[in-house]
Copies of this chain bind each other. A is one copy, B any other.
Amino acid sequence: MKSALFAAVLGAAGFAAGAASADEGFWTFDNVPAAKVRAAYGVDITPAWLDHVRAAAVRLSIGCSGSVVSAEGLVLTNNHCVADCAHDLSPANADYFTDGYFASTRDREKTCAGLRAEILTAITDVTAPMQAAGAKLTGAALIKARDAEMASLANAGCGTDRKLHCEVVSLFRGGQFKLYRYRVYDDVRLVFSPGDRTASFGGDPDNFNFPRYALDAAFLRLYEDGHAVASPEHLRWNPTPPVAGQPVFVAGNPGQTFRGLTVAQLETQRDQAAPMLMSQLSELRGRLIRFGEESDADRKMSGDALMGIENDYKIFVGRLTALDDPAFMAARRAAEADLRAKALARMGSAFGDPWAEIAGVQGAAQSLFVEERMIEGGPWESLLFNDARTLVRAAAERERPSSDRLPEYADNQLALLERGVLDPTPVQPALEQLMLEFWLSKSREYLTADDPATKLLLGRESPEGLAARLVGGTRLGDPSVRKALWDGGWKAIQASDDPMIQFALKLDPEARRIRERAEDAVQGPTARAAEAIAKARFAVDGADAYPDGTFTLRFSYGAVDGWTYRGKTVPPFTTFAGLYDRATGQPPFDLDPRWLAARDKLDPATIFNISTTNDIIGGNSGSPLLDARGDVIGTAFDGNILSLGGDYGYDGRVNRAVAVTAVAISEALTKVYGADALVRELEAR
């Protein structure tokens, strides 16, 4: 359950469909259904409980969640959230990605390049100015006015203080806008990783599976000015084994979900976006698997990218499974018809028909989709191309006043952008070339060889030849070259003879045109209609609603529980004994030698992974699993296969979150890794 890589592609965040059922929901911290929780589980979620948890809940820029679990800035998250960092930090003679890493002393804690942690400090309602900014505008003008207002509100909230980050979040698809204010930590260091073999035991075959046997946990530490951050507001570590039925809570950042889309939008996803993206992911997966088989070095180079691609692929399978389910679509159609009828009854015919308006732009959405995805979207992963595009756009945008820019280049974004571009993460040319070649060849395939955009991309070159020329010729792998271009601005960009810069420069006007056309024909009309639907929803359902995931802090409640599906009951627990049973000795079912050595020391009955009814989704990875007191009893790292439709809806009978327990983490830290010092820090009171 890694970051929701394609979330931005698929659509805007939305309303959850219908009133929430038991245990359902990504609840904002300013609208937690405390009465429901009390009724269902007898637990009082007080404002103090929420403030305490919020102050220790961490959002990681890699698309994960985490929590502060000691007074010295120690952060618990998932290992898959630090795997990139472990890979990048590995010296020539060690492989932290595979074998893990433990900083036995403070001076061995190493900064994860580019990783940023944020803690939410305040939520302010800015619905009125945001809706006023867009009033009476349509198309791209509406989108631009809202973008400008967002930037201006964020700027007013945080200014240019690098320790603060403000963003305006659109909830309920424009039904509400809230300003989220964060405290930022941009020196985050790796403390402990068990290594991928142990964290991803079972690999792709077991991903989104349960029973499960993965120690997908890791520790980071927040630093500031070269020192570990003091964190009196931290969560307590509770290595008590969970019991079946125990109420459990999750505080984390679910990524973009699509529960609030209209049926017309869902059909576009089902019939066009999801099949195309699933198919492209499958092919890229195949290319990466074979690439990794070419040598050990290639396997290491591509392992993390492959893990992400396989994860995203499964997510698409889950999405398509939900969308292809006639019962699901029928339920959505019925719910929509119901809301429409009630809205009309309550608000009269002047209300119009925003559903029809959204249905009306699906033709445009579908005909623009391929160009948007391929030309404006760019390659799935390429540091070099992404840096080139950012350098080109930032230079062009900085020539204008902040309010006239593309929103991601507004003044309050520049520090972050600069940090991203100057991030010294080393580039892997062979992998870059694979990613660029794939993107170019898929662009030609989907746009066809005769399309002007294909001709713009390729000229008379082949995807293979162009990718090799760009990667072979660019000097952007050198951070000092990127810095000179960032500092030199538009003049330096125009003067650059770097082939990647020239390529990004050549592509940019067309990419912007596509984006503008989509804003005009799709996003603008959709935003206007979605605001109307949100109003109808508030009028009909009141406050008993949660917005779709937006990778912002949310509260989820539930219980430790298994499930029954097609007559088969899956219990909610696995143990260390089960891990040893499952190990075949062959990857991805092979054990780390330290685990083989520690077998006799470990208590085989230790509860290792558990399933719970919490409603979570990609982005929640690393979230603390909390008990009634708000203490940490584990960290959520996955969902079962039946939870993969969670982007579109929650079915309490079968959707399950998967977590690794604090008791297993403590036991392993002590008996497998000799990390007693870490356990002492966790258990300090």
Contacts and interface: CB of A to CB of B under 8 A. Distances in A.
B270 A460 contact: no
Given A279-B278, A286-B283, A290-B291, A209 B449 contact: yes
A434 B464 CA distance: 22
Which label, helix, strand, loop or mixed, suits the secondary structure of the A interface?
Answer: helix
A462 B275 contact: no
A281 B280 CA distance: 11
Interface stretch (A419-427, A481-489, A537-545, A581-589): A581-589
Contact of A205 (B320, B448, B460, B464): B448
Contacts of A464: 293, 587
A450 B202 CA distance: 11
A445 B449 CA distance: 35
Nearest to A325: B271
Contacts of A288: 286, 290
Interface in A437-460: 444-445, 448-450, 460
A290 B279 contact: no
Contacts of A209: 448-449
A462 B586 contact: yes
Contact of A294 (B272, B294, B445, B587): B294
A335 to B, nearest CB: 20
A282 interface: yes
Contacts of A279: 278-279, 282, 317
Interface residues of A, number: 48
A592 interface: no
A611 to B, nearest CB: 15
A285 interface: yes
A285 B204 CA distance: 19
Nearest to A566: B367
Number of copies of this kind of chain in the complex? 2
A286 B281 CA distance: 10
A450 B568 CA distance: 13
A281 B283 CA distance: 8
A338 interface: no
A633 to B, nearest CB: 27
Contacts of A461: 584, 586
A206 interface: yes
B320 A275 contact: yes
29 contacts: A202-B449, A204-B445, A205-B444, A206-B449, A209-B448, A209-B449, A272-B324, A275-B275, A275-B278, A278-B279, A279-B279, A280-B282, A282-B283, A282-B286, A283-B286, A286-B287, A286-B288, A286-B290, A287-B287, A290-B291, A290-B434, A449-B589, A460-B584, A460-B585, A460-B586, A461-B584, A461-B586, A462-B584, A462-B589
Q: Which 7 residue pairs are nearest across A and B when measured between Cβ atoms?
A: A286-B286, A282-B282, A290-B290, A462-B586, A283-B286, A286-B287, A460-B584
Interface of A: 202, 204-206, 209, 211, 267, 270-272, 275, 278-291, 293-294, 317, 320, 324-326, 434, 444-445, 448-450, 460-462, 464-465, 584-587, 589
Given A209-B449, A462-B589, 14 more contacts: A204-B445, A270-B324, A271-B325, A275-B275, A282-B283, A283-B286, A283-B289, A286-B288, A286-B290, A287-B287, A287-B290, A294-B294, A462-B586, A464-B587
